[in-house]
Amino acid sequence: MKNLILLIGILLTNTVLFAQTTIKGKVSSEGMPLQYANISLKNSKIATISDEDGNYFIQKIMPGNHEMVVSYTGLKTRTKKIMVTDTTEIILNFDLKESNTLDEVVITGTLKPVSRLESPVPVEVYKPAFFKKNPTSNIFEALQNVNGVRPQLNCNVCNTGDIHINGLEGPYTLVLIDGMPIVSGLSTVYGLSGIPNSLLERIEIVKGPASSLYGSEAVGGLINIITKNPKNAPAFSADAFTNSWGELNLDLGFKGNVSKTASVLTGINYFNYSNPIDNNHDNFTDMTLQDRISVFQKWNFNRKNNKLLSVAGRYFYEDRWGGEMQWEKKYRGGDEVYGESIYTKRWEILGAYELPFSEKMLFSFSYTDHDQNSVYGNTPYLAKQRIGFGQLTWDKKIASHDMLFGTALRYQYYNDNTPATAEESINWIPSLFVQDEIALAEKHKLLLGARYDYNRNHGAIFTPRLAYKLKINDNNIVRFNTGTGFRVVNLFTEEHAALTGSRDVIILEELKPERSYNANLNYLKKIFTNNGNFIGLETSAWYTHFTNSIIPDYDTNPNQIIYKNLDGYAVTKGISTNIDMVFQNGLKVIVGATYMDVSKTENGIKTRQILTEKFTGTWAISYRINKLFLDVDYTGNLYGPMRLPTLGELDPRKDYSPTWSIQNIQFTFNKFKNIEIYAGIKNLLNWTPNKGNPFIIARANDPFDKNVQYDPEGNVLATADNPYALTFDPGYVYGPNQGIRSFFGLRYTLK
């Protein structure tokens, strides 16, 4: 009897083994195979990855109903149900679509990881694929196709700039790297270039005040540049391009493992432009010449408890100059030939350490050292800045409350050779903040937050915050945010116009911190059609009221820039819409439009602020031709008129800019394994701001004002040599001077 039972058991076992099935197939995206895609059988330990050709192979699948799950970073996860009977082989192919980014995890809005759809604070997410549609040499230029965000050039000579959000000047925008506020002060103007694009994981953008979490400078919004995790980065990547103007850009990325304890990611960016061009014939360089290198390295350590430990550092050096075409370094700082020469040395370190407790506590830190040696004609500007930052947060869930407690300490050192800095400035700013995200009901969330900062020069500063989210359903979400903000101005580190040109800088009073009150209403809608197409629609309306605004006054005296706290108030308000469409035929369309009104009211008189446009538009239209292995990207932006800083009634330059547009087209060929070849044309319309103007730089023929004559009251006189009564001024700038140009590039990625 025992032998009979044993025989039956053997027969049953063989039957089951014989009935086991093999599943194989291919994982691709838009016709291209995906290497290292994750394939798993749901609710089991069976998993594998695809090979270099996208193929996968899974054996010994037992009979029954199963779900296959395939995922790949940056693409939408797909699940397929299958029934396994006695079939010995099943072929199951997967074609992954690009994620619409609505379901991604974001951290910027609430300082903790949360699904973008679940965040009470609206956060926009942009991945490297978005910026590759119009390749640029730095993050500053890359943001030109983001709706409501405008890189603003502030000087025709040295081409420095800042980033405007919803019409607010650059100092109102806080730029973070991996959540650390290390781009501020001097680097607001000079540190936005040189962040290696090869290390970019994504960029998160919050429009509107975030001072209750991030403190000063986060008044108009913030941009968080998140770098790759070494574990997920390719082993090697290279991206190099050049253009018909002679610009050369190289991005390199390397990943390595240090035994089993750590992984390290290194990124190198090198940019060079050494070809002086003067297409508008004013004897000044149309684009600043630059020689720049940036090296970034990030370490992630493997801890037994899976707690986070990462450390990163960056070194940045740049030599840039612009000026008269015959300028050489021997003229630096003299009054014979005009040039603006800037040497920048900067290093940064930042890190995060999750404390080894059962509670979720994270300590983050950063330190930057910035040394700038510059001359503007014969005016030297020598400045040093050091910023240290440490922050401890405690993430605690209590019933329906998702709490965040935090404390931060900021160290600021600054010194320069200007009369405004009689002695070096050292400031310690301690902060406390708390945030409570309350799940009121299944569809309702309320976020309450408050921050307390103490500044020895300005005393205690309190900034509260409130956010509410109504999730009507998975495809319709409404958010309302309101709060206050504050900003402590660093005049010479932020206002480049105070350093260049011949206008006198007048500071009428001790400047007080700016305060703001903001409200923002956001609506997000997702539409999925029956044939698999996707449409995402997001609309925001905002209103921000400022007190103690510090707005440079160019109007009272054309020979001066006057700084003081506004005796009145300033307002920015507007509405913005983004439409994101993905079609099954390979067409993708991203369109954005923003209308805004930015004004100041003083002594009962309302005026439009300088260099703020009424409306903007952006678009990115992409189409893949599978048969030709070709991607076509058509990108562009449109800007409405903005008021410009002219130099008096006789100045023949236009008081308002025209409506203008920069448009680009790119073709990417990706037939070869791991290689992309791309080429295209930038500025298709060959638009430059000198069109319609007799000149752009005032008194370019006399940059040191040697032949300017003044009356007894200090006003410029109109003479035969100076019929428009002008002084030298390169601040009449609202767009780039680069005209149409072709580019060619190559990308190589080794997974």
How many CB atoms within 10 Å of residue 193? 24
Give the 3-state secondary structure of residue 618: strand
Q: Tell me: domain 2-95, CATH 1.10.510.10, correct?
A: no
Alpha-carbon distance 550 to 132, whole Å?
37
CATH topology of domain 105-225: Ferric Hydroxamate Uptake Protein; Chain A, domain 1 (2.170.130)
Counting as low any pLDDT under 70, the low residues of the chain are 1-20, 30-32, 73-75, 86-87, 98-106, 108-112, 183-196, 210-212, 216-217, 419-420, 489-504, 555, 558-559
Q: In whole angstroms, give the CA distance from residue 67 to residue 43.
A: 8
Predicted pLDDT at 744: 97
**What is residue 18's predicted lDDT score, i.e. its pLDDT?**
47
Residue matched to tokens 């027969």: 11
- The predicted structure's pLDDT at residue 542: 92
pLDDT at site 503: 61
* pLDDT given for residue 123 in this prediction: 86
Q: How many residues does the chain have?
A: 751
Q: Is residue 257 within 8 Å of residue 299, measured between CB atoms?
A: no
pLDDT of residue 658: 94
Cα 227 to Cα 180: distance, rounded to the nearest angstrom: 12
Distance (Å, whole) CA 669 – CA 435: 48
CB burial of 122-153 (b: ≥16 within 10 Å; e: otherwise) equals: bbbbbbbebbbbbbbbbbbbbbbbbbbbbbbb
Instruction: Write the pLDDT tens digit of every residue in 181-212.
Output: 776 666 665 556 666 677 788 888 888 776 56
Return the H-helix or E-strand segment holding 694.
none
pLDDT of residue 103: 59
| Alpha-carbon gap, residue 42 to 63, rounded angstroms | 14
Give tens-digit pLDDT for 124-178: 888 888 889 998 888 778 888 899 888 888 788 888 777 888 888 777 788 888 8
Give this prediction's pTM: 0.84
Contact 182, 192 (CB under 8 A): no
What's the pLDDT score for residue 415?
Answer: 87
CB-neighbour burial class of residue 478 (10 A; exposed 0-12, middle 13-18, buried 19+):
middle
Q: Pick from 598, 715, 617: which is nearest to 660 by CA? A: 617
Q: Where in the chain is the domain with CATH 2.170.130.10?
A: 105-225
pLDDT for 79: 83
pLDDT value of position 95: 83
- The C-alpha atoms of residue 457 and residue 3 are separated, in whole angstroms, by 93
**What tokens were used for 15?**
């039957």
User: Hey, what are 341's tokens?
Assistant: 């020469």
| End-to-end CA gap in the chain | 59
Q: What is the pLDDT of residue 511?
A: 76
Q: What is the pLDDT of residue 51?
A: 80
Where, residue-wise, is CATH 2.60.40.10 in the chain?
2-95
In this predicted structure, what is the pLDDT of residue 76?
A: 73
Q: 226-750 has which fold?
A: Maltoporin; Chain A (2.40.170)
